[in-house]
Copies of this chain bind each other. A is one copy, B any other.
Amino acid sequence: MNTNILAASLPDVAMEIDQRGIALPSVGIRGFRLPMQMKNESGAIQPVVVEAEVGVSITAEQRGAHMSRLVETLYEWASAPHSPQETPELLSQLVDRLQSDQANLRLKFLYFLSQPAPVTGVPGLLEIEVDWQCRYEKGRFESSTRFLFPGMTLCPCSKAISEYGAHNQRAHVRLWLQPDDRLPQLPEAYLPMVNESCSMGIYPVLKRQDEKYVTERAYENPRFVEDVARELTLRLRESNRLQWFRVECESIESIHNHNAFAAYEERTGK
């Protein structure tokens, strides 16, 4: 309470009237890390470590934002588990607390999915990079989600021209999604699509029988980065829940010191 009295006596420079006449669409904090608990569609809770960026708009008259309130709001939110569907409520709180017209939020975290070995079934956890970018303005919420899945590509050209063998490599499959409901996503539903679109999926544990299986299936199933982008596109179209998506496959070429990539994007018009 004493500290509030003190606060009242301190000048509030952020509230000064700015004369430059320039409203700023986003002012806030970045690289802020905190623990959170993600609740998925089946209600399971996974602890994650989030890197957050959060900002609000300020009017032309307002010199600055009260950034400590952004941090306080994030901490309060992180005190309980939340599903992705609840995210608009967080941005609504930010807008209220900062008395702003608009809020934006970016959350990046690793999320682990089960990926058991394909023959022996030995359990494994595959880490998926998740990146949510959300925006809330006048009661309207929008977001896009980016996932980074690992996969494997085996080069069709190398296989076709060689007597034996074919170069293959780990690839990064990036997926940007805007579903019809505009909400951020967790990656569960997309891992099977990525596994099918690559020459083979990637596994944390492989025993010898699994390694034989993975090697042979990849050789039977050569895929350029171009093929992966197209195969994934076909599967995403079928998912029927997306108003927009972008796919990108980037392979860590085993024969070069640079990567190969192919990108595609589509708006369904809904």
Contacts and interface: CB of A to CB of B under 8 A. Distances in A.
A181 interface: no
A124 B53 CA distance: 17
Interface stretch (A139-147, A182-190, A224-232): A224-232
Nearest to A6: B209
Interface in A1-35: 3, 6-7, 10-14, 18, 20, 22, 24-35
A160 B26 contact: no
B219 A156 contact: no
A227 B65 CA distance: 11
* Copies of this polypeptide in the complex: 4
A90 interface: no
Chain A interface helix/strand/loop/mixed? mixed
- Closest 5 pairs between A and B when the two form their complex, measured CB to CB: A165-B219, A47-B47, A32-B258, A162-B215, A13-B157
27 contacts: A6-B119, A13-B156, A13-B224, A18-B226, A20-B233, A24-B262, A24-B263, A24-B264, A26-B262, A27-B226, A30-B258, A31-B258, A35-B112, A68-B206, A126-B257, A152-B254, A152-B255, A161-B211, A162-B211, A163-B216, A165-B218, A166-B215, A169-B170, A169-B252, A169-B254, A202-B257, A203-B255
